[in-house]
Amino acid sequence: MIAQKLNTKDTGKANNTALYTTGVAGEPYLTDLERTAIDHEVAQVPYKSAAVIEALKIVQQHRGWISDDSVGAIAAYLQMSPAEVDSVATFYNLIFRKPVGRHVILLCDSISCYVMKYGDLYTALQEKLNIKFGETTGDQCFTLLPNCCLGCCDHAPALMIDNDLYKDVTVAMLDCILKKYT
Amino acid sequence: MERPLTQYIHPGCPPFDLREYEMTGGYAALRKVIGSMSPQEVQKLVQESGLKGRGGAGFNTGMKWSFVPMGENAPQPKYLIANADEMEPGTFKDRLLLEGNPHQLIEGMILAAYAIQADISYIFLRWAYKKAAQLLRKSIHEAYTAGYLGKNILGSGFSLEMHLHTGVGRYMCGEETALLNALEGKRATPRAKPPFPQVSGLYGKPTIVNNVETLCNLPHIVNNGAEWFKGLGNGKDSGTKLYGVSGKVNKPGCWELPIGVTVRELIEEHAGGMKNGYRFKGVLPGGASTDFLTTEHLDVKMDFVSVAAAGSRLGTGTMVVMDDATCPVGFVHNLQHFFAQESCGFCTPCREGLPWVEKMLLSLERGHGTAEDVEMLQMHTQLLGPGNTFCALAPGAMEPLQSALKYFREDFEKHVELHKCPYG
Amino acid sequence: MSTIYIDNKQYNVKEGKNLLEACLGLGIDLPYFCWHPALGSVGACRQCAVKVFKDENDTRGRLVMSCMENIKDGLHLSVADKTAKAFRSQVIEWLMTNHPHDCPVCDEGGSCHLQDMTVMTGHDYRRFHYKKRTYTNQYLGPLIHHEMNRCIQCYRCVRYYHDYAGGKDLNVFSAHNHVYFGREKDGVLESPFSGNLVEVCPTGVFTDKTLREHYTRKWDLTTAPSVCNHCSVGCNTIAGERYGQLRCITNRFNSEVNGYFLCDRGRFGYEFVNSANRITQPIIRNRAVEAVDEVVVMDHLKQLMNNHTVIGIGSARASVESNAALMQLVGKENFYQGISDSLRFIQKRIVEVMQSGKVQPASLQDIQQADAILVLGEDIWNTAPVMALAVRQGVMKTAAHHVLENRELPGWHDAAVRELVQQEKGFLANCTIAASPLDELSSSTVHLAPDDLARLGFAIAGRLHTSVPVVQLDSNTQNQAAIIAAALQQAKRPVIISGAGCYNEALIRAAFDIAVALNTPEHEVRLAYVMPECNSMGLAMTQSAGFENAVLRTTREENITAIVLENDLYRNVPAHIADLFFNSVQHCIVFDSLNNATTQNADVLVPAATFAEGDGTLVNYEGRAQRFYQVYMPANKNIRESWKWLQKMEEIRTAQTAEQVYHPEDLLVMCERLMPQFAGIAGAVPHHDFRINGQALPRAPHRYSGRTAILANLAVSEPKPKQDNDSPFTFTMEGYSGMPPSPLIPFFWRPGWNSIQAVNKYQQEPGGALRNEQAGTLLFEYKRDGEAVYFKDIPEAFMVRKDKWLLFPQYHVFGSEELSAYSKGVGELSPEPYLAISSRDADQLGLVDGSLVTIKVFEQAYELPVATNMLIPNGVALMPAGLQGMPAMNWNAWVQVMSVKL
Ligand SMILES: Cc1cc2nc3c(=O)[nH]c(=O)nc-3n(C[C@H](O)[C@H](O)[C@H](O)COP(=O)(O)O)c2cc1C
Ligand code: SF4
Ligand code: FES
């Protein structure tokens, strides 16, 4: 007896045997370190998805930015869908959904720094690094981003690189500041 | 002159640790309350002291608390949240308190939590305040170890958890209901009020959100009483206020002063007057979302009532000075760029109106604007007014614009006439 | 009732509503976007602004969003206020700043909520002269087209798809004026309710991709009220045609059945009507020229009938009229249900139970209002999708209801209610063979073999009433029974759902026993049994014998001519049985609309009209008879309702020219005469000569274009419009232009309301029932004070057998239903065959996902890949049901599974 092959059609697409998945996709490949940190946050909230911003922060801290895969991994871990995670991730400007350089320069462009001419710093940085806002240097060292008020208006203009705050910055100081990160 | 909030803050020096804080009278207010006062009594005391929220809106703090359901049948858990998001451009006062005396905030929070019988508290700290985060983490730990936080605080039967939450950007997070959404791991879009957070807040449970400075006042009110607090003020309001000045002044900075000092005193005495070669043209008295005051308002007292009477708002009390070399159109454009960028995108007027306003201002600034643009801007100041938008972000954005159109209209018209910026 | 004043006129309005609902309910045109009757208010779009005044002396007032304001007694408001009007028109201007203004090429044009509101507010002159923001669109699968630039950010899509329907893969991204609505990346939308986005979205962001392939403006469609053909729920639809082609299906609101929403099978499954596989010509086999005309075929049919025993095989997807006409032609004793005996047996039980009148049937509305729901055995997500959507609403509404107790918050305040609800849910017990998306909603989830599910059911009934004997269960299941029984006991409006899907009759009885036990004055219990096809209930109610009896008869008797009515028997019984049937009948006459395995065996093949080309009545799972109307006359005159052909045959056979021309309603009268159990069905529909003010009802809206030129390529003169003698409708735009009675609404349109939002105008109050709504006729009568009876006949526990698996069907929204599978998009989404077994069984056989196995069914072996699943009970195997090209299986039978050694 010859077995009949049950192929109703040949669409070449993946075998869709899932009984409607609820959208939990993405390989759960968070590292142990990330997982432990996320677990700690999950323990403090009433349900898992409430820890999603913390999870994004944790993963970003380890990987520098949040890739589509990271979104998938976080989603799977917190029993959310990737779309739910990404909806939150894309809302916040300090969750980076694109790769950034090793160091992120956040130049304050808010009102006090405007009055104190942050524009001069921006011009100088553009020249020195050859990048505009939103861009990363060719050597992946710096990403330059505008940022709203850094809360140090009495020492405007100000900028932050990674966790370091620089106050009363002048164009002359820039070389010295940047050198620390190269 | 008493400076209860900043007495022990010395910029440049590390803040008090727990022991130092206790030695200078720290946590005495907590002991007093827990030993001898009912939550209702604390609420009443604060209400009587006339303490108004320092987050911008200036609502009586004790009154705000009184809407929280109390007693056995109240929903559980209840939450107390310190709003340390401070992202209003031109504002840097909470930073001083957070970096200068974290235990003062923690004690204030425990007092507030006790008054509303909250079970869990959060500090919602803006991302940029790295140093504050570090200090708060350490101080919260110290407070837990000393038994000021956690289960059965000082044997009173009252328990309180405290967590530090650091944000990931977005000015909207400072708006109290958006803040709640952010804490719940959602997009920081605001919620409709009513229901107010006091009734349905974090995770749908009763919640109070107070500004850092508001909370830091509490230990002192408890220690010294309502009358003392009222007596601190200089004008129509109670207490002291953290004032700040930034812009082209000689000594920008932040100082604790009796609430109600005049604009002039702040700029001329405390900030050391305008920098050489620059003249005062106008000032946003309390952050980016307040109306301009101009030379005619220099003697206005910086309290909630007086600033309002002058057509602006005390807001955060940290002022941004605009000098005569800065183009008001560019200045306002910078603000509107900020607001348009920080709109959450939920309601139409804010999401679509602000970018339009921003574009008109930019084109005016570059000399491409028309008289109709100025009219259109004027119209938008009304269209984006309170009540028309979902939250107070866009109405706040309109305050500097409407007052700029009022006081500096000539500047706008010059741009149209000359087809370029007269400020070069 | 409260008294409010709108623009100084006094009105009495219902409390608990918001001002927008009040205004719309009073017929005042107030624009809105983000509010939707099924979704509530969030106050995002700011389009519905009105002025509210403190009292009659207040002249300044303040602007409020009407959708966010409660009705209060004595309230003064103004819609006409100048600032309010200016603001509303400004909102449109803002929304239009980035809108592409591409109405001429936009599929939404002419049925666009945004267009309507733009006209309504009077915004007509563009002042924004900067660059527009633009987006990239996404591929969302074969059903939905995405065009993000048209978005006005009302958030309705996410609120519907994610919040209301529970879909996980559509959301809002980014912030400020960059907010984006779509998936996190390109891909097929996962929810089988995605099609409702087309109607929920007020603009052309989400549009019907299938319509796009043969696009027609709403105003150019000829439409008629219809009833979905693709499951037993009987959702009300509107079907639209142009140029002799069916173009689209949209929802037809009614408050009893489907409300505002359809499932994607129902919305997009229509394309079988346009299929190249259609039968268009009568065919007499084995002639030089097989395709013949009417006269020849009739003549031939006469010969096949004369001197022959004529038997009829009925159909679960043909109308009551066609089945009745067949029964009339062949005689009651010669009429057989064209379904397997095992299914017939189960459906007979269902009919008995419903006819007993002991328990009331559950409408979808009842399910939405339920405060505890038990699904026993039926995979409703896949067999009755819109019912699953209703279950979701029941669960969510109960939770909302609960948190709103003792609070002042109004139920329409959507975001605030959700905040309070948090993770809370109403009670749902989903007890099925395998996992289902409903599991995530359910408080009790049980996956067992059907007999064990039935035992669980009896155990629940036993806990509710002592008449049902105690069932021995393992402690875990025992526990679940206790939890479920307690939850049902506490509920005020419990609903029990089961069905024929598992081919297990004990489940039907168990569900009934539970419902009867709950039928006390404390509860308003409702019971629903899902059946496989759109007229399964109508067929089952004939109480005729099953197909196997017909086969038996054909093998014993000579000289039989069989008439098979719209039924692919190869889908209903195993091939060898169908083959036997065709080999033993002498002649076989087949009526159908599409070619299939059965039509291959026809000696005479007669083209039957589909739902779009004919009139008829279907009886849904609740016993609700609903009428569908012909949308258009097929150009090919040979295509007509089976009942029309059958009447002709009756005339020929009895050699009498019928004195009276039969109309559909006459057939229903005949049906009642033949079968008293159908009493009332004839009253279900207005007669063909129903008129309003002497006028018939137009199928085309008055803006219909090209009336005089549409056939100019064929003849210069305008042809006489086609006449419809079967229904009150005309095929043109002439006729009564007011609001027709609810079953006769061919389209929703009111002046100023071209979009589907016009539904508001047809309702008694926004979101409520239609004016004078009659959503069909219920054929089962509830007898309030009948005595409780219980079945008590409890099956043995399921026992795993060595090397054998008990085979059950796994249904799929896309693919399991016969007709919809001919639609391109639906076909694309249907799965490949597989055999699903438990992970443990797979382990023991050394199989992993994708391993090939052979299963032996009736001496025929089939090879297919394995899908393992942890939640399938051991000893049970599942295969997708009803896929095109797959043989009919003997469900609920033991099969051997062998690993294919490579
Ligand atoms: C857009 C927006 C941003 C805000 N940002 C802050 C903030 O950063 N910090 C703050 O304390 N209050 C902020 N507020 C005010 C809060 O909503 C809230 O009124 C305040 O935290 C209450 O505290 P208080 O009663 O102690 O003033 C903001 C309000 C709006 C509308
Ligand atoms: S896509 Fe449609 S439904 Fe969604 S926000 Fe935009 S306009 Fe509204
Ligand atoms: S319908 Fe009222 S704000 Fe959108």
DSSP string, A15-72: ---SS---S--S-----HHHHHHHHHHHTTSSSGGGGHHHHHHHHHHHHSS--HHHHH
Q: What does the pLDDT read at residue C658?
A: 60
* Domain termination residue (choose one: B323, B340, B371): B323
When pLDDT is cut at 50, 70 and 90, the band that residue C504 belongs to is: very high
Residue B48 inside a domain? The answer is yes
**B11 within domain boundaries:** no
CB C190 within 8 A of CB C169: yes
The DSSP output letter for B210 is: E
Question: What pLDDT is stored for residue C102 in this prediction?
Answer: 96
**pLDDT at residue number C661:** 63
Span between the terminal Cα atoms of chain B, in Å: 45
Tell me, what's the pLDDT at C235?
98
* Residue C260 pLDDT greater than 60, yes or no: yes
CA distance C456 to C431: 9
Query: What chain B residue is nearest to C89 in terms of C-alpha separation?
Result: B383
How far away is chain B from the Cα of A94, in angstroms, using its nearest Cα? 5
In a domain, B154, yes or no: yes
Tell me which of B85, B87, B91, B92 to substitute to probe the interface with A (most A C-beta atoms closer than 10 Å). Answer: B92
Q: Same domain for B146 and B198?
A: yes
pLDDT, mean of residues B190-194 = 95
CA distance B203 to chain C (A): 7
B126/A153 Cβ within 8 A: no
Choose among C91, C174, C413: nearest Cβ to B348: C91
Number of A–C residue contacts, CB under 8 Å: 112
Shortest Cα–Cα distance, B129 to chain A (Å): 8
Confidence (pLDDT) at C253? 98
CA distance C717 to C714: 9
Instruction: Name B176's Cβ contacts closer than 8 Å, sequence gap at least 6.
Output: B55, B81, B83, B197, B209
Nearest Cα residue in chain A from B204: A46
Comparing B223-232, C62-71, C199-208, C855-864, the range with the smallest average pLDDT is: C855-864
Residues of A in contact with C864 (CB under 8 A): 5-6
Q: Average per-residue pLDDT in chain B?
A: 97
- Dist. CA C358–CA C781, nearest whole Å: 9
Mean pLDDT across B133-160? 97
Please give the mean pLDDT across all residues of chain C.
Answer: 95
Q: Does C180 touch chain B (CB under 8 A)?
A: no
Question: For every residue of C434-503, which 3-state class applies, written as one string?
Answer: CCCHHHHHCCEEEECCHHHHHHHHHHHHHHHCCCCCCCCCCHHHHHHHHHHHHHHHHCCCEEEEEECCCC
In this model, does residue C534 exceed pLDDT 70? Answer: yes
A107 touches chain C (CB under 8 A): no
Q: What is the mean pLDDT of residues A41-70?
A: 96
- Could you list the beta-strand ranges (E) of B26-138: 79-84, 120-125
Q: What distance in Å separates the CA atoms of residue B288 and residue B282, rounded to the nearest whole number? A: 13
pLDDT (mean) for B260-276? 97
* C764 Cα: distance to centroid of ligand 3 (angstroms): 21
Nearest CA in chain B to C420: B204
Distance CA C714, CA C110 (A): 28
Q: Which of residues 32-51 of A touch C (CB under 8 A)?
A: 46-47
Name the 3-class secondary structure at A147.
strand
Rounded Cα gap, residues C714 and B182, in angstroms: 65
Nearest CA in chain A to C811: A19
Burial of A150 (0-12, 13-18, 19+ CB in 10 A): buried
pLDDT at B235 over 70: yes
Q: What is the CATH code for C2-96?
A: 3.10.20.740
Put simply, the answer to whether C179 touches B203 (Cβ < 8 Å) is: no
Lowest-confidence segment of C265-274, C635-644, C849-858 by average pLDDT: C849-858
Q: Quick one: which atom of ligand 1 is closest to the CA of B391?
A: 31
Quick: pLDDT tens for C591-633. 999 999 999 999 999 999 999 999 999 999 999 999 999 999 9
Residue pair C77/C53 in contact by the 8 Å Cβ criterion: yes
Contacts of A156 in chain B (CB under 8 A): 246, 252
| B270-308 pLDDT tens trace | 999 999 999 999 999 999 999 999 999 999 999 999 999
What is the mean predicted confidence (pLDDT) over A87-94?
A: 98
pLDDT at C887: 87
- Kindly report, residue by residue over A4-54, the tens digit of the pLDDT: 554 433 333 333 333 333 334 444 589 999 999 999 999 999 999 999 999
Model confidence at C902, pLDDT cuts 50, 70, 90, reads: low
CA distance C824 to C231: 18
CA C120, chain centre distance (Å):
33
A vs B, Cβ pairs < 8 A, gives: 127
d(CA C222, CA C244): 10
pLDDT above 50 for C716: yes
Task: Give the residue from chain C lying closest to B340, CA to CA.
Answer: C176
Strands lying side by side in the sheet with C624-628: C616-619, C624-628, C777-778
pLDDT digits (tens, 9 = 90+) for C776-813: 999 999 987 778 889 989 999 999 999 899 999 999 99
Which of C832, C851, C884, C897 would you mutate first to test chain A, the one with the most A CBs within 10 A?
C832
CA dihedral C764, C765, C768, C770 (to 10 degrees): 20
End-to-end CA distance of chain A: 73
**Ligand located closest to A148 CA:** 1
> B373 and B249 share a domain?
no
Looking at CA atoms only, how far is residue B119 from chain A in angstroms?
Answer: 13
Upstream peptide bond of B195 is cis (omega within 30 degrees of 0): yes
Do residue B353 and residue C403 have CB atoms under 8 angstroms apart? no
Q: Between 3.40.190.10, 1.50.10.10, 3.40.50.1980, 3.40.50.740, what CATH number should domain C276-339+532-609+636-656+664-679 receive?
A: 3.40.50.740
Residue type (1 letter), B59 = F
Chains that touch A (3 or more CB pairs under 8 A): B, C
Architecture (CATH level 2) of domain C352-526? 3-Layer(aba) Sandwich (3.40)
C-alpha separations of B200 from B279, C401, C417, C785 in Å: 49, 16, 10, 46
Write the ipTM: 0.96
Residues C330-353: tens digit of each pLDDT? 999 999 999 999 999 999 999 999
Phi/psi for C320 (5° steps) reads: -55, -40
**What kind of architecture, by CATH, is found in domain C804-899?**
Beta Barrel (2.40)
Q: Per the structure, how many domains does chain B have?
A: 3
Single-letter amino acid, residue C820 = S
Which atom from ligand 3 is nearest to the alpha carbon of C68?
2
Q: Give the model's pLDDT for residue C659.
A: 57
Is the distance from the beta carbon of residue C19 to the nearest atom of ligand 3 less than 6 Å?
A: no
User: C831 CB near a chain A CB, below 8 Å?
Assistant: yes
Interface test with C, best of B358, B388, B389, B398 (most C CBs within 10 A): B388
- Could you give the 3-state DSSP secondary structure of residue C542? coil
CB B422 within 8 A of CB B411: yes
Length of chain A: 182
Q: Please, which residues have CB within 8 angstroms of residue C86's CB and are 6 or more apart in sequence?
A: none
Using the predicted structure, report yes or no on whether residue B240 has a pLDDT greater than 80: yes
CATH architecture, domain A103-179: 3-Layer(aba) Sandwich (3.40)
Rg of chain B over CA atoms, in angstroms? 22
Contacts of C182 by beta carbon, 8 Å cutoff, 6+ apart: C138, C140, C146, C148, C170, C171, C173
Mutate to test the pocket of ligand 1, among B54, B61, B83 (most ligand atoms within 8 A of CB): B83
Judge contact between B166 and B125, C-beta under 8 A. yes
Query: Which tokens go with C235?
Result: 């959702």
Q: Which of B293, B323, B353 is the last residue of a domain?
A: B323
Question: Do B31 and B43 share a domain, yes or no?
Answer: yes
Question: Which band of pLDDT confidence, cut at 50, 70 and 90, is reported for residue C2?
Answer: very high
For residues C401 and C409, give the distance between their C-alpha atoms in angstroms, rounded to a whole number: 11
B341: contact with C, CB 8 A cutoff: yes
Report the separation in Å between the CA atom of C97 and the middle of ligand 3, taken as the mean of its atom positions: 19
Cβ separation of A83 and C183 shorter than 8 Å? yes
Residues B187 and B246 in one domain: no
Task: Judge whether B4 lies within some domain.
Answer: no
Closest protein CA for atom 1 of ligand 2: C151
User: Which of A90, A122, A149, A152 best probes binding to B when mutated, by most B CB atoms within 10 angstroms?
Assistant: A149
Residue C156 CA: nearest ligand 2 atom is 3
- pTM for the complete prediction? 0.96
Residue A1 has pLDDT above 60, yes or no: no
Q: CATH number of the domain that B216 lies in? A: 3.40.50.11540
Every domain of chain A with CATH number 3.40.30.10 lies at 103-179
Phi, psi of B138 (to 5 degrees): -65, -45
How many helices (H) and strands (E) in chain A?
7, 5
Question: In which domain, by residue range, is B95 found?
Answer: 18-231
Boundary-marking domain end, from B206, B231, B256: B231
Which residues of chain C have a CB within 8 Å of the CB of B352?
94-95, 97-98, 177
A49 part of contact set with chain B, CB < 8 Å: yes
Ligand nearest, relative to CA of residue C153 = 2
Spatial neighbors of C859 by CB under 8 A, at least 6 apart, are A1
- The CATH number given to whatever domain includes residue B350 is 1.20.1440.230
Are C172 and A87 within 8 A, CB to CB?
A: yes
Cα B344 to averaged position of ligand 3 atoms, centre (Å): 17
Ligand 2 pocket residues where CB is under 6 Å: C 151-157, 181, 201-203, 205
Cα(B56) to centroid(ligand 1), Å:
6
What pLDDT is attached to residue C233?
98
Longest Cα–Cα distance of chain C, Å, equals: 93
What is the number of the ligand closest to the CA of B90?
Answer: 1
Mean pLDDT score, C95-110: 96
Sketch the domain layout of chain C as residue ranges.
Answer: 2-96, 276-339+532-609+636-656+664-679, 352-526, 804-899
